[in-house]
């Protein structure tokens, strides 16, 4: 599974996002060590603070299915430019792999690849 393929999967699920408030949809695709892919979309709520981002939904699906070794996550958002995971999602991802590969794209599907450590250098770990 290469970076472009993982972004393609994130793009495919992005329309499933439930975003009546922000109208900003995000799709995520999380690749596990067993080479399975778990997707997630953002799910908003009228009580805004209850919104869950696409990345965390993908992580929670994978954990729920018994997988917690993650290699990469791809994120596709509806912005013109690159959509990056928020700080809260980076912290949740760091729990499982501080060196996770993070693949982001812009609306033209140009791709950038980062490590989680690069985006959240002072992550909180016990
Ligand atoms: N959002 C995500 O799902 N992932 C990100 O990486 C950034 C933000 C969502 C949360 C909210 O539903 C909408 O985007 C606007 O903030």
Name the residue with the closest Cα to ligand 1, atom 1.
53
Going residue by residue through the chain (126 aa), what tens digit of pLDDT does each one get? 999 999 999 999 999 999 999 999 999 999 999 999 999 999 999 999 999 999 999 999 999 999 999 999 999 999 999 999 999 999 999 999 999 999 999 999 999 999 999 999 999 999
pLDDT of residue 119: 98
pLDDT of residue 72: 98
Ligand 1 centroid to residue 32 C-alpha, Å: 22
The structure's pTM equals 0.98
Name the residue with the closest Cα to ligand 1, atom 3.
53
Between the CA of residue 31 and those of 23, 57, 59, 109, 125, what are the distances in Å?
Answer: 26, 13, 10, 18, 22
The yes-or-no answer on residue 55 being catalytic is yes
C-alpha span between 100 and 32 (Å, rounded): 10
- In short, whether 53's Cβ falls inside 6 Å of ligand 1 is yes
Name the residue with the closest Cα to ligand 1, atom 10.
53
């Amino acid at each position: 599974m290469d970076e472009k393929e993982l972004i393609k999967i994130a793009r495919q699920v992005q329309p499933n996002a439930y975003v009546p408030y922000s109208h900003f949809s995000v799709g995520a695709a999380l690749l596990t060590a067993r080479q399975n892919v778990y997707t997630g979309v953002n799910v908003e709520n009228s009580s805004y603070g209850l919104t869950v981002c696409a990345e965390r939904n993908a992580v929670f699906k994978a954990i729920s299915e018994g997988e917690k070794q993650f290699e990469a996550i791809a994120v596709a958002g509806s912005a013109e430019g690159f959509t990056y995971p928020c700080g809260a999602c980076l912290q949740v991802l760091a729990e499982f792999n501080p060196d996770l590969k993070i693949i982001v794209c812009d609306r033209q599907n140009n791709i950038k690849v980062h490590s989680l450590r690069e985006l959240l250098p002072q992550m909180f770990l016990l």
